Amino acid sequence: MNDDLAAELHRRYTRDQEARTAYTPGGDWADVVSVDTDNTAWLKDVIAEHGWPGTTLVGEAGANAAWLIAQHADRDREFQEQALHLVTAAAEAGEASPAHVAYLTDRVLVAKGEPQLYGTQYVCDSDGSNLRPQPTVEPESLDDRRSAMGLESSADYDRRMREVAG
């Protein structure tokens, strides 16, 4: 395991979460954009040197942090799609969580204006009100797809999302 890389992933994960926690609806999103832009550029370099940082290279927490950085790389959609292919291959090799594939798949689809597959992406009005899931393909089989990726039921996820959103 690469302990230095794992530690840097953890540090960047923490910065990501701190920037998002500090944001309030209607506030300045610039700090989040700055962190995301820096993290995206850094992860591109890591991938160029090591490939996708999977669990063997950086441990489970490090692999989770790498996925989160890719998940939040919204200003670089081409990279986000590349990361989706890499994390999908990593999950197939047991080096990443299938849940990471589900979340990143939905993020990429929603960005393209397409319905999501796993119901992971939500949106709310600019004032932070009216939280709702983005459109989903075949909602009647959503929980089957979620279960196959190791995700909780859509009802449980919706309840959790609303609790977090306050």
Quick: pLDDT tens for 26-84. Answer: 788 999 999 999 999 999 999 999 999 999 999 999 999 999 999 999 999 999 999 99
Q: What is the pTM of this model?
A: 0.93
Mean pLDDT of 132-140: 96
pLDDT digits (tens, 9 = 90+) for 143-155: 999 999 999 999 9
Compute the 3-state secondary structure of the chain and give helix, strand, coil in percent, each to the nearest 5.
65, 5, 30
pLDDT of residue 127 exceeding 70: no
Map tokens 């700055």 to a residue.
Answer: 34
Question: Mean pLDDT of all residues in the chain?
Answer: 95
Residue 35: name the closest of 47, 52, 23 by CA: 23
Q: How confident is the model at residue 124 (pLDDT cuts 50, 70, 90)?
A: confident
Phi and psi of 132, rounded to 5°?
Answer: -155, 150
Contact assessment for residue 9 and residue 65, using Cβ atoms and an 8 Å cutoff: yes
For 80-129, strand residue ranges (E) read 122-123
pLDDT digits (tens, 9 = 90+) for 70-113: 999 999 999 999 999 999 999 999 999 999 999 999 999 999 99
Written as six digits, the tokens of 136 are: 């989903």
Contact assessment for residue 101 and residue 95, using Cβ atoms and an 8 Å cutoff: no
pLDDT of residue 165 exceeding 90: no
For the chain, strand residue ranges (E) read 122-123, 132-133
Mean pLDDT of 1-16: 98
Residue 161: name the closest of 138, 136, 140, 130 by CA: 130
